[in-house]
Amino acid sequence: MSTLLQIKNLRTYFFTDEGVVKAVDGVSFEIEEGRTLGVVGESGCGKSVTARSIIKLLSTAGRIVSGEILYNMDGQMVDLVKFSKEEIRKVRGRHIAMIFQEPMAAFSPVYTIGDQITEGMIYHFGITKQEARERAVELLRRVGIPKPEKMIDSYPFEYSGGMRQRAMIAMALSCNPRLLIADEPTTALDVTIQAQVLDLLKDLQQEYKMAIMMITHNMGVVAEMADHVVVMYLGRVVESAPVEELFYNPKHPYTSLLLRSIPVVGKRVERLEVIEGDVPDPRNMPKGCRFHPRCPYMMKGICDEREPVEVEVGPEHRVSCFLYGGEKDGAS
């Protein structure tokens, strides 16, 4: 298995009038070719910003301040951070595509679904409008849109929520991306549709041999989809492990709490009720371990003073917490 994407020490900050928000603050992880990485954490932990940094879909206040995003482009590792706007446009859609919780974020309301799906194919492959249209009809059929040769000429508002989600997946797959970034793709859907969309994604992954970065706050979705999992908290990765290992042998107190609040697959959950306290204000990060104000195992004088470093606790299993070493003994 080879590495498709390797993020190294990524920092993405937002420069606002109220101060600097360190949304992503030293994040590292890898995605293997054809595999699914689950990225999990509560809202505001930096999952979406990490994803958007990869294809530079950040708002104007957001900036990658350091780090590398190495992408295996036809056998050569290239750093996407250094890519110009024009260069990244050639990557977006063709190499790395993204789907969102709200399909209206991907579609313009004023063009037909067909116009929007064919646009990328015409741009990336230089094929004719007619060729692109035929391919789009096939894609719509493949994702389960009824009467695709008719529906292709409809506008997004004429699709139901579930159908829009399927059409967005069709658009994302239209240029055969190697990596699909799925940001809470099923969160807004009802239970049955949610399960159907996840099944569809798994089937398409097999067919298209693409890797998926599945961003979710739902541990049920992680269990269903992921091979490897990265747990994020306040802009940092706190634990990373193969999926079975994470579920059966979680190490970080935050991961354990996430697992205790595990929702039933398909059930819509707005927030993780079990974990006490709110996510702190990212403009005012807690000193020491960022989780210490909410951690049941917090060690005074250690966790509230120093930042834990990442330690290896098993094969491909890493955790940042003083309970497993790090700088605990060396704390002054």
Selected binder of ligand SF4 within 47, 228, 292, 317 (CB under 6 A): 292
Selected binder of Mg ion within 48, 50, 118, 186 (CB under 5 A): 48
Q: Are 210 and 35 in contact (CB under 8 A)?
A: no
Selected binder of ligand SF4 within 132, 211, 226, 321 (CB under 6 A): 321
Between the CA of residue 261 and those of 15, 27, 189, 264, 266, what are the distances in Å? 33, 24, 20, 10, 14
Burial class (CB in 10 A: 0-12, 13-18, 19+), 263: middle
* Nearest residue (CB) to ligand SF4, 65 versus 298: 298
Least distance to ligand SF4 from the beta carbon of 62, Å?
Answer: 27
* Nearest residue (CB) to Mg ion, 244 versus 281: 281
* Nearest residue (CB) to Mg ion, 36 versus 48: 48
Residue 7 binds to ligand SF4 (criterion: CB under 6 A): no
* Pairing label, strands 3-16, 62-73: antiparallel
* Nearest residue (CB) to ligand SF4, 170 versus 313: 313
Strands (E), the chain: 3-16, 19-32, 36-40, 62-73, 76-79, 96-99, 179-183, 211-216, 228-233, 236-242, 310-314, 317-320
DSSP bridge pairs for 271: none
Least distance to ligand SF4 from the beta carbon of 103, Å?
Answer: 37
- State the binding string over 236-265 for ligand SF4 (x if CB under 6 A, else -): ----------------xx------------
User: Which residues sit at the interface with ligand SF4, rule CB under 6 A?
Assistant: 252-253, 289, 291-292, 295, 297-299, 303, 308, 321-323
User: Which residues sit at the interface with Mg ion, rule CB under 5 A?
Assistant: 48
